[in-house]
Amino acid sequence: MRRSHDERRFTTLMNMSDERLEEALGNLTASGETDRLAAAREILDVMTELSPRIDKAAREALARESVPWVRGALVSILAQGGPELEEGVVVPAPTWDAALDELDVDLAHQVLSMSTKRVLHEVAAVVGRAKLAAGVELGDAYSGSQTARQLEFLSEVCAGLRTLTAATQSPTLLEFDLSQELEELSRSVAEQWLFPITANGPTPFIITSDRNLLILAVSNILVNAVEATLSVGPAEEARAIVLTWGSSPGGFHTTVIDRGPGPPGFFGALRNAGVSTKEGHPGFGLATASEAMRSLGGAVQIQRNERGGATVVLSWREEDQ
Amino acid sequence: MKIDRLEVSGGFLDGLRLSFSDGLNVLIGSRGAGKTSVLELVRFALGVPAMTPDAENAAQKQARDVLSDGTVSVFCSIQGEQLVFSRTALDDAPAASASYNYREPLIVSQSEIEAIGLDPGSRREILDRLVDPLAWTQFDTHETRAAVASLERRLERLREERDQFVDRAAQLEGLTERLAEAEREQRTVAEEIKKAKPLQTAIAEEADKLGQMRAASDAYRMAEEALGEWGKELSKTGLDRPIPALPSAAVEAEVAAVVSKVTDHVRNARKEITRAQKLVAEARAEVRSGQGKVQKKLKADADRLEGLQRGAGDVGRRVSTLRQQLKEREGYATRVRQLDVEIAKVVKERDAAMDEAENRSEGRYELRRRRAVELTKKFHRRIEVRVDKSGEFAAYESALTDALQGSNLQYKALASSLAEKMSPRELVAAVEAVDPDRVVRAAQISSDRAVRLVAHLQERSVADLLLAPLDDAVDFALLDGQGYKLTKNLSMGQRCTVVLPLLLAEERESILLDQPEDHLDNAFIVQTLVEAIRERARGGQVIVATHNANIPVLGDARQVVVLASDGRRGFVSAAGALDDDAAVEAITTLMEGGREAFARRAAFYDAHEHE
């Protein structure tokens, strides 16, 4: 069927807009500040909505940017996504609600744990068998194939689900030096990712809590922070991650401050397990940390940093001795 | 530069002779003993400026008050050479015994430590002191800014010239239409003149006829005159001429009959001439009457012909003038086009110069940023040094405020908002392109205001906006609990904990600090400040005035100077090594509150050690 003149014109205009948008997104990394400012203005002119792609590109640019007018233009782009994107706004992920009694939390954990185990039981074995069969059937062609990549992704999903299940276990309380554990954890993640991480807090810092759950939560947040920051630029001192800890009223906190792109516009989606802004990544990190902290009667809160990046605060109650 | 000795004659510290060693020198003493005065006199003698204007005023006043009518001398060594600086309270500047290139000591008063954190210029200066000056010079923007200023002046001249030509051309607006109209009129007149051929013939005929009539009229007039003359002559001829009596009656009768007859003839002749006269007069009157009519018609026809000919002349002259003006206007348009090309070329050159200035400021920013990253790492990220490229744009805002005066646009609020949202280059580009929409989108102001703003700025020089100095903004953030806090949100003590380590990071041979412990908790003094002082003292000289025992004791002071005062004069009551009896006694008494207080505190700590 022939398209009408208006339809063709509209399509042409859309294509032109797409081209302009592509060019402008590319220019966000230009070396000259005048070019970057023009690119940010162009995006704001052309965009019809804050798509995940624009959101990600603008947040990454904001994390790198230091010129006030370019920063302002990038913030204007992100403001199209709503008030959750404003810097300094704290968003719970998910909220630990004091009104929620223990039974409800336990019940929620039981349901999550049972359903996850059931899914794992059914799916993990199938994934394993599929990988074997594909290897045999495709032979040399398997390695590097789309099939291999998809099956690997499925394996990662199963691994993520297993970790998520671990995060819902009942806490086992022990007295330990949190500062020592976090310093070791930061060293280990820094070495594994070749990324600068500074652990900074009172030493020693003796608490009574579930060490494994805490480390599970913090390590997930830390790895998330490293991955996010690497999307902005190479691992260098200017982008070092800070891990700190201390006392809060009625409990304790551990905070991870990164220089990555910060929380995305469609932030609510992040709270759900299996959703990630990182392409080709199952994205169980935040959900696992949230579940682990919930098991400790705590919560995870996220806010956008003034200079880009996120501050993730894991807080939990002080256990009676 | 190292400070070897301080000598004061006159004033509160009259007679003071104080030597300083390498390493850590600590000045102790009760309040009012003159510790701060010693440091301020060193600063005064060397002419080392304070970091903020308020601190500078306070420092100068204190030094002059302490010195009164006396003189201060500071003996220094610079790369093995001795140098003496002297100054009286009346001197504007210190006098030096010789001229050397040297790096002056870092002298920081208590009020400066408190104020630096809140002063953007001082924060930047702290960082800049830590940046390699050689690397800094390669990014000097003076030359590029001068190039931009020169190109801007040229642009202004070109734009002015262009405006003049546009104005002149505008005055000749509608010229083509007017010329076409005039040419149409010219053709019409030419047509009418062509059509006026019979009129010319008629005029010629009428002129001939009028000539004939004039000749006839003249002939009649002459005849009339001749007849008149004759008539007059006849009238002179008497009719009753007496004849004498004749002897013959018959003859007499005969003669009488003849006389009577002659008399009749004369009488008739008179009548006939009168009749002839009348005939001639009537004929002449008839000719004259015809002559008037012909003359009137001839005049009307001649006037009409002359009108046509005059009209043709006028329209011809008009057409000629309009053609000249059209040529003139084409000349203006050509000049405007040439100027547009010239302006575009200069704008391009100016933008290239701006790009170069931007690159150089980017280079400076990069130097600062790298140093900031190093410092942040050095302080284990407890203190973060942040640099925002071109974040200090107060001069741009001020230039905008000036430029918007008289715009009826609530210029102060608008200038502030514009400076925050649009870079100088972006704003100038929008003004030069006459693009208020760009201002609407970037600054989020109404379309009407943007149009007025652009129109207003177009009438003014935008050079001041482009040339307003922009500098990087430097700020410090302290890791406090769950995140970083900027200096404006820090308590006085927290600000001091941020500023002091940064000041001590500077590698100077000599550093003088006045009571840095104020506002600080002992944990920070012991863990951070003392460590930093020890590190600095290891390779140079640190002179600290303090009330905190941790600084001399844990800082391994090389020399402790105890100052005292009798209320009228301050003096050195003891000076020596840390373990000299006098120093130990002064530290124990003045700083720890005496041995008993110290012993009771120690017992308290012992008793609660294992809790």
Q: What is the DSSP string of A177-215?
A: EHHHHHHHHHHHHHHHHT--EEEES-SS-EEEE-HHHHH
Q: Does B382 touch chain A (CB under 8 A)?
A: yes
Which chain A residue is nearest to residue B418, measuring alpha carbons? A69
Confidence (pLDDT) at B560: 93
Q: What is the pLDDT of residues A83-138, one digit of tens each?
A: 554 555 555 543 333 333 344 556 666 666 666 667 666 677 777 777 788 888 88
Phi, psi of B74 (to 5 degrees): -120, 125
Q: Which of A279-293, B462-476, B521-535 has the weakest average pLDDT? A: A279-293
Diameter over CA atoms, chain A: 78
Confidence (pLDDT) at A263: 78
Task: Identify the CA nearest to B29 among candidates B487, B515, B522, B392.
Answer: B515
Please state the rounded mean pLDDT for residues B20-39. Answer: 92
Please give the Cα distance from B4 to B2 (Å, whole number).
6
Confidence (pLDDT) at B260: 86
Q: Which of A266-280, B307-321, B499-513, B552-566 has the weakest average pLDDT? A: A266-280
- The complex's ipTM works out to 0.75
Q: Does A253 touch chain B (CB under 8 A)?
A: yes
Give contacts of B389 with chain A, Cβ < 8 Å: 33, 66-67
CB contact residues (below 8 A), chain A span 180-199, against chain B: 198
* pLDDT grade for A30, boundaries at 50, 70 and 90: very high
**Residue of A35, A36, A69 best to disrupt the B interface, most CBs of B under 10 A:** A69
CB contact under 8 A, B389 and A311: no
Which chain B residue is nearest to residue A71, measuring alpha carbons? B421
Q: Which of A30-39, A100-109, B58-67, B581-590 has the weakest average pLDDT? A: A100-109
Confidence (pLDDT) at B605: 83
- pLDDT: is B134 or A227 the higher one? A227
Confidence (pLDDT) at A212: 86
pLDDT over threshold 80, residue A164 = no
CB pairs A-B closer than 8 Å: 85
Sort B334 into a burial class: Cβ within 10 Å, 0-12 / 13-18 / 19+. Answer: exposed
* pLDDT grade for B532, boundaries at 50, 70 and 90: confident
Give the N- to C-terminal CA distance of chain B in Å, as an integer. Answer: 50
Sort B320 into a burial class: Cβ within 10 Å, 0-12 / 13-18 / 19+. Answer: exposed
Q: Does A79 touch chain B (CB under 8 A)?
A: no
For residue B192, the surrounding DSSP H or E stretch is helix B175-195
CB contact under 8 A, A246 and B365: no
Percent of chain A having pLDDT more than 90?
29
Tokens of B578: 């840390």
pTM value?
Answer: 0.73
Q: Which of A198-212, B514-528, B547-561 has the weakest average pLDDT? A: B514-528
Q: Are B443 and B421 in contact (CB under 8 A)?
A: yes
Please state the rounded mean pLDDT for residues B261-275. Answer: 89
DSSP state of B487: G
Phi, psi of B405 (to 5 degrees): -60, 135
- pLDDT: is B181 or B133 the higher one? B181
Within 10 Å of residue B396's Cβ, how many Cβ atoms? 25
Q: What is the pLDDT of residues B319-362, one digit of tens each?
A: 999 998 888 888 888 999 999 999 999 999 999 999 999 999 99
Percent of chain B having pLDDT more than 70?
100
- pLDDT: is A89 or A289 the higher one? A289
Confidence (pLDDT) at A101: 38
3-state secondary structure of A300: strand
pLDDT over threshold 50, residue A268 = no
